[in-house]
Structure 1
């Protein structure tokens, strides 16, 4: 057939069929033209035995500019692409080198690089032994567009992989690649695996390495973590993620597995973070079942775990200001007003912060985010609502007013109240709505009612909503107790003596 090279197998098939069929039929059965079949019958060698052609079938369009213009540019900048060189030639020689010559130039450039070009990096395949190496890294999951309670859930996964068996662990991380996230994830993985590898490898995590120093070294906290578990820390060269290949490859496969599972699920929204964590855990467990045999071999070579876990938090101090707020790592948090003026010991975990006063846990809240689109505030309106009831007019100009709305419906309600009521009535009504949501546990259902009212173009009536959602005080019946006369007890004595 025109444009197709005939193989030795086709020749053998044609010769076998030719014994019992005509030349035309045998050629058709072997997938070749009659003209080719005729040439094969008159030939005495197979296609693979032909002498390769050494001459050109057409003139080289780049012959007169190759050595004088193209090669000097390639030697100066070997990474130049053929399309860039073609554009340069088109500028220097108009109407001589059309775009159709691009493939010809690409073949010439590729051949030059193979003969005279710079050396390329060699990738050395590694043979992993059981119990020797475990690898950690973080992978961004925002491109999967997961939502929690309808809101976008920007997060990462901490990912740990044993190099020999490819057993893995994944944990959801809302913040950045912090030491707390690394420590918590690594310890969870080791205790779930039931042992420790002898070497722990990461990339250039600032949580583990002092990357800004000229002589890079472990951070003190990371060194203490490795010492506690008896592991040696290693890292790949800066900018060479493929040297962490065992976990980098698993990143891609794990994200794809989560994405496929979300497609089967039919939607990407979860009721809360716990539901999403359970979902990811199930995906990882299914992947680990395929490597169960190799993991059983590797588990026998893992080092024993220590008697206890080490700390997976960082402790800092923060003073609660008279505004009822305190700042930790650039994020503004709120606290109960009774803690104003006190200096707290704050333990920072990957997903929460715990505040201690004189050794007692006095406050705990979810950890704030450093995301680019975040206001870096993690305020709870419940901490302010009682004081706002005393001074409702302060709500209008409050510096962090927009961070006190627990849901979008409350923010929209404030916009309508502010636009259609006086400032005094708007502030009083809004503070009353927040008080109703905070102190009567109706934040969700009240938000749904506000949505309905706003859609209908109505303003919320605070008194009506209070009568509907606030618990009514039970009407206790009045009980009148009449004190009996003392002489009545004598009749009881007489009755007992008679009996």
Structure 2
């Protein structure tokens, strides 16, 4: 029609209709004039092929610098980022407009597509059921999880069967280590109900960090022994090549996204304790496994059988309890009951706890502490272990090395600071020790902390006599009950009366 351009679609339609109809009829059905139809017969190129290429409508801002300066930089340093080149060009040529950044980035991208170096190709793999299991750690610091208001620095050990999508996650409080890998991997295998033929992990470089050659060799042997116990062949990625474990690296993002969404729907990233947070993670992973239930059910028969028992998932160390009422292990001081002073203890180090043994007898479990990233030592102190000695030497509290870790709750520390500010040092230390002793004797640590918070908020100091009365009963004031022994003759009389009653019956 006059004033309208013929499109490629119209021309294709005309050429098809031309096979069965005269030119006039085909032109009318295609929506074009008869003269246009005759021109198309003479020149069968599509309209889009006839359109001349459009030239630049404005001057090229990179005309004099791209080939002369940018290309030599790209050849000399192929890994140079476009933003670095952009900043260098602005420094060399102050008259350039800042708006050339996108133009420069597009030009660099096009140049690299034609003249750039070959890039590494990722080869997608075909997975077989029951053949491969993958392990890796991922940092969870970005989610802002807290326990009782305190930030939780932790990793997540993540295991996955790539064929079915089965996954398992375990909260790790320390860094990457053999203990964390062994505990998480065994939990995952027993949860899956079977063992794959191969196990692939990263290079374990984080676990080897700061270890000498002998310790590294020992760690390698322990990892190989762990895999041999489950009849798995251990394999590792090349160091620094994360995509070799791509079937779990990508799953990290999906799992962390699901956890982030669940935290938002929950309304708070704060949890009462570690057990509650671990239950939260288990529930999310369980829902994801339920979505892959059919595939998991198909893969499970292809897995190897589990062994009769778990393998060792801890490190064992011998320590001696010193006269300070504890021992130092991995730059962390732990207190224990004073009756153990001088004894050698066998300590099993797990990721989140220490199990203490004397001989074959289990004594107690302690939470595991860790030295700071700067190498600063830490303390794990339980005031129940030292309160009886501290009562005899209350002034020791004043300059105690682990004083801040001695207080079980912040309210006790604030009470000490308030007492020290308004009373002589001796009285403040004695009063604070008596508060800790009251919490120990009456088993009222939490309730007493709440009462101290109320007192301090009112601007008062704790009254020990009133608090002792408040958290009665006092064992010293309990009445003495005397039980008199009963004569054995009374039991014989009772037996005799029972026999006579039976004879009458």
TM-score by length of 1: 0.83
**Partner of residue 415, structure 2:** 413
Q: In structure 2, do the counterparts of structure 1 residues 385 and 182 end up closer, same or farther at CA, with 3 Å as the change threshold?
A: same
1:316-465 to 2 correspondence within 5 Å? 316-372=317-373, 376-465=378-467
Q: Any conservation in 2 of the 1:208–1:222 contact (CA below 8 Å)?
A: no
**Partner of residue 230, structure 1:** 231
Moved more, 365-374 or 433-442: 365-374
Write the distance in 1 (CA, Å) between the matches of 2:456 and 2:241: 54
The size of the alignment, in residue pairs, is 454
Write the distance in 2 (CA, Å) between the matches of 1:233 and 1:347: 25
Write the distance in 1 (CA, Å) between the matches of 2:455 and 2:381: 27
Q: In structure 2, do the counterparts of structure 1 residues 255 and 85 end up closer, same or farther at CA, with 3 Å as the change threshold?
A: closer
Q: In structure 2, do the counterparts of structure 1 residues 291 and 12 end up closer, same or farther at CA, with 3 Å as the change threshold?
A: farther
Moved more, 189-198 or 356-365: 356-365
Is residue 2:245 matched to residue 1:244? yes
Q: Any conservation in 1 of the 2:271–2:277 contact (CA below 8 Å)?
A: yes
Write the distance in 2 (CA, Å) between the matches of 1:375 and 1:90: 49
Structure 1 position 470, deviation (Å): 3.5
Q: In structure 2, do the counterparts of structure 1 residues 213 and 245 end up closer, same or farther at CA, with 3 Å as the change threshold?
A: farther
Q: In structure 2, do the counterparts of structure 1 residues 213 and 474 end up closer, same or farther at CA, with 3 Å as the change threshold?
A: closer
**Partner of residue 24, structure 1:** none
Structure 1 position 140, deviation (Å): 1.7
Write the distance in 2 (CA, Å) between the matches of 1:165 and 1:53: 52
1:90-109 to 2 correspondence within 5 Å? 90-95=90-95, 97-109=96-108
Moved more, 194-203 or 267-276: 267-276
Helix, strand or coil for the counterpart of 2:64?
helix
Helix, strand or coil for the counterpart of 1:108?
helix
Q: How well do the aligned residues superpose, as a CA RMSD in angstroms?
A: 3.2
Structure 1 position 423, deviation (Å): 1.2
Q: Any conservation in 2 of the 1:402–1:411 contact (CA below 8 Å)?
A: yes
Structure 1 position 165, deviation (Å): 1.0
Write the distance in 2 (CA, Å) between the matches of 1:124 and 1:314: 38
Unaligned runs of 5+ in 1: 1-5, 14-38, 484-488
Q: In structure 2, do the counterparts of structure 1 residues 9 and 429 end up closer, same or farther at CA, with 3 Å as the change threshold?
A: farther
**Partner of residue 123, structure 1:** 122
1:475-490 to 2 correspondence within 5 Å? 475=479
Unaligned runs of 5+ in 2: 1-5, 14-35, 488-492
Structure 1 position 420, deviation (Å): 0.6
Q: In structure 2, do the counterparts of structure 1 residues 335 and 162 end up closer, same or farther at CA, with 3 Å as the change threshold?
A: same
**Partner of residue 78, structure 1:** 78
Structure 1 position 48, deviation (Å): 5.2
Structure 1 position 324, deviation (Å): 0.4
Write the distance in 2 (CA, Å) between the matches of 1:213 and 1:317: 21
Structure 1 position 181, deviation (Å): 1.4
Helix, strand or coil for the counterpart of 1:237?
coil
Write the distance in 2 (CA, Å) between the matches of 1:80 and 1:212: 37
Helix, strand or coil for the counterpart of 1:169?
strand
Q: In structure 2, do the counterparts of structure 1 residues 64 and 407 end up closer, same or farther at CA, with 3 Å as the change threshold?
A: same
**Partner of residue 196, structure 1:** 195
Q: In structure 2, do the counterparts of structure 1 residues 47 and 270 end up closer, same or farther at CA, with 3 Å as the change threshold?
A: farther
Q: Any conservation in 2 of the 1:174–1:369 contact (CA below 8 Å)?
A: no
**Partner of residue 143, structure 1:** 142
1:34-53 to 2 correspondence within 5 Å? 49-50=49-50, 53=53
Q: In structure 2, do the counterparts of structure 1 residues 138 and 10 end up closer, same or farther at CA, with 3 Å as the change threshold?
A: farther
Q: Any conservation in 1 of the 2:132–2:196 contact (CA below 8 Å)?
A: yes
**Partner of residue 164, structure 1:** 163
Structure 1 position 52, deviation (Å): 6.9
Q: Any conservation in 2 of the 1:208–1:219 contact (CA below 8 Å)?
A: no
Q: In structure 2, do the counterparts of structure 1 residues 8 and 209 end up closer, same or farther at CA, with 3 Å as the change threshold?
A: farther
**Partner of residue 274, structure 1:** 275
Structure 1 position 61, deviation (Å): 3.5
Helix, strand or coil for the counterpart of 2:157?
strand
Write the distance in 2 (CA, Å) between the matches of 1:383 and 1:243: 50
**Partner of residue 69, structure 1:** 69
Write the distance in 1 (CA, Å) between the matches of 2:106 and 2:385: 70
User: What's the CA shift string for 1:423-469, capped at 9, x where partnerless?
Assistant: 11111100011111122211111111111111111111111111111
Structure 1 position 154, deviation (Å): 2.0
Helix, strand or coil for the counterpart of 2:185?
helix
Q: Any conservation in 1 of the 2:322–2:341 contact (CA below 8 Å)?
A: yes
TM-score by length of 2: 0.82
Helix, strand or coil for the counterpart of 1:64?
coil
Helix, strand or coil for the counterpart of 1:159?
strand
Write the distance in 2 (CA, Å) between the matches of 1:109 and 1:290: 44
Q: In structure 2, do the counterparts of structure 1 residues 272 and 12 end up closer, same or farther at CA, with 3 Å as the change threshold?
A: farther
Write the distance in 2 (CA, Å) between the matches of 1:9 and 1:396: 91
Q: In structure 2, do the counterparts of structure 1 residues 80 and 479 end up closer, same or farther at CA, with 3 Å as the change threshold?
A: closer
